[in-house]
Amino acid sequence: MQNVIFGIVTGSILAVATLGFALVRQTENFLNIAHAQMMALGAFIGVVLVDTYGMNIFLAGAITVVGLGALGVVLSAVFFQPVRHQGGTVLLFTSIGLALMMYAAILALFGTQARFYPDVSGSLYRFAGINIATNELVIIGLAFGSIAALQLFLNGTGLGRAVRAVASNDDLARVRGVPVRTVSNTIWFISSAFGAMAGVMLGVLGAVNTEIGWHNILIVLAAAVLGGLRSITGVILAGLLLGIMMDVSALFIPTSYRPVVAFGVLVAVLILRPEGILSIQRRKDAVVA
């Protein structure tokens, strides 16, 4: 049972990270490899604000999330807009180029020494034989709060509906006069902000080092694909499930097999249910007819 709690914490962070990634995939139609470097940047800026400038963790987190959201908009305008008409292939590899440049910026700005958030774990609550720390509760709460806020935004505001229109059919949305540019900027802001938030959460639980982005891109990619590329709820569930699965599997098999299990299950799920875990209608584009 304790491991399920661990898994929910892991999974919440993964869900937040993957959501930002999946949003761009759904609206801009490419896999944005640079997303993981946005997470790394978030972890670093957060730790600098907290550790070096003594800022409160929540204030630092908020500044990081908003600041990197804005940076995401700028980067998309500089790097992705000019090649947007070239299609997903060119965008995908442009994002790899951008990821390398962001990685270089992190190395140059922050150096290679590992950094740690001062212990912000808070007190431990115990009930019914399991225990959970304050920061884990906060992470779970923030993750679900921000996901809920995103859902409200997408379903309850005009701009949000425009985003969904673009996600379901870019051309149609354009014809209908949806402000495509504004929508695109909104998407990049949200995506980058979610990436940054996941980065800060990762940093709070673990260590901050320059490789953190590369270490996390595979699992984000996996969660995004597992969740089905078109379903936000699917992505959230996939993130949670992957997290829980990795932590619960420790009880049954040697922990060294943990990554093998994660990827093995991923492969199995994809082959058995190629449309992702949630979608009811088999999606034709996922599998050869």
Partner 1 sequence: MTNPIFWVGVLTLAMIYSSLAMALNVESGWGGMWDLGIAGLLAAGSYCYVILTSDADLDMRFAPELSMWVAWPLAALFTGLVAFAIGAPALRLRREYFLITTLAFAEIIRQLVVIQADLTRGTLGVPNINRPFDSFVTGRDYNYVLLGIAVAAAAVMYLVTRQVGVSPFGRTLRAARDNEAVALALGKRVNRMRIKTFILAGVLIGATAPVYLFYIRAVSPQLFAPGITFTVWTALVIGGIGSIRGGLAGAVVLIVFTEAVGLIEVDPAHINILVAIEPFLVGLLLVLVLRFRPDGLFSERSAFGAGNRPSRDSAGDSRPAGATQGSGG
Partner 2 sequence: MKRVLVALLAVGLVAAAACSGDTEEEGPVKMGFLNGQSGDYGPWGGWALAAAEVAVEELNAAGGVLGRDVELIVEDNGSTPEGAVSGFAELTEVDGIHALGGIESDGMVAIFETVHELQIPTICSTCGTTELDNTGGDMVFRIIPSDTDNGIVGAQVARDEGYRSVAMLVELSEGTESPANVFKAVFTEQMGGTITEDVRFNAGETTYAAQVAQAFESNPDAVYIAAGFETGVPLLNEWQRRGYTDIPMIFTTDLLSPEIAQIVGSVDGASAIVGATAYDTENNPAWDAYVPRFAEKNDGDPPEIAFYDAWQYDQYIILGLAMAKAGTTDGAAVAAAIPDIANPPGVEVFSYADGLAQLDAGNDIDYHGTTSNLNLNSVGNLLSPVMAVISVQDGDWAVRENIELDPTLVKPS
Question: Which of partner 2, partner 1, none has residue 116 at its interface (CB below 5 to 8 Å by kind)?
Answer: partner 2
Nearer to partner 2, 28 or 247 (CB): 247
SS3 57: helix
Interface positions, 34-73, toward partner 1 (CB under 8 A)? none
Contact between 245 and partner 1 by CB under 8 A: the answer reads: no
Question: Which of partner 2, partner 1, none has residue 145 at its interface (CB below 5 to 8 Å by kind)?
Answer: none
Question: Which of partner 2, partner 1, none has residue 3 at its interface (CB below 5 to 8 Å by kind)?
Answer: partner 2
Minimum distance from CB of 85 to partner 1 (Å)?
A: 7
Question: Which of partner 2, partner 1, none has residue 160 at its interface (CB below 5 to 8 Å by kind)?
Answer: none
d(CA 216, CA 42): 13
Question: Which of partner 1, partner 2, none has residue 266 at its interface (CB below 5 to 8 Å by kind)?
Answer: partner 1
One residue of 53, 85, 177, 251 binding partner 1 per CB under 8 A = 85
**CA separation (Å) from 180 to 74, 157, 187?**
16, 16, 10
Contact between 74 and partner 1 by CB under 8 A: the answer reads: no
d(CA 121, CA 142): 15
Minimum distance from CB of 16 to partner 2 (Å)?
A: 12
One residue of 2, 56, 74, 83 binding partner 1 per CB under 8 A = 83
CA angle 22, 27, 31 (to 5 degrees): 50
Cβ contact 39:201 at 8 Å: no
Minimum distance from CB of 242 to partner 1 (Å)?
A: 12
Minimum distance from CB of 265 to partner 1 (Å)?
A: 9
State the number of CA atoms in the 13 A half-sphere of 97 facing the CB: 12
**CA separation (Å) from 124 to 3, 4, 118, 131, 200?**
16, 17, 17, 7, 21
One residue of 88, 97, 145, 259 binding partner 2 per CB under 8 A = 259
**CA separation (Å) from 123 to 10, 51, 165, 289?**
19, 20, 44, 54
d(CA 243, CA 239): 6
Stretch that binds partner 1, among 40-48, 62-70, 234-242, 270-278 (CB under 8 A): 270-278
Question: Counting every residue, how long is the chain?
Answer: 289
Interface positions, 85-144, toward partner 2 (CB under 8 A)? 107, 111-114, 116, 119, 121, 124, 131, 133
The dihedrals phi and psi of 113, each to the nearest 5 degrees, come to -65, 140
Q: Fill in the DSSP letter of residue 283.
A: P
Closest by CA to 45, choosing from 169, 196, 190, is: 196
Contact between 37 and partner 2 by CB under 8 A: the answer reads: no
Site residues, partner 1 (CB under 8 A) = 25, 29-31, 79, 82-83, 85-90, 92-94, 96-105, 107-109, 111-112, 214, 218, 221-222, 225, 229, 256-257, 259-260, 263-264, 266-267, 270-271, 274, 284-289
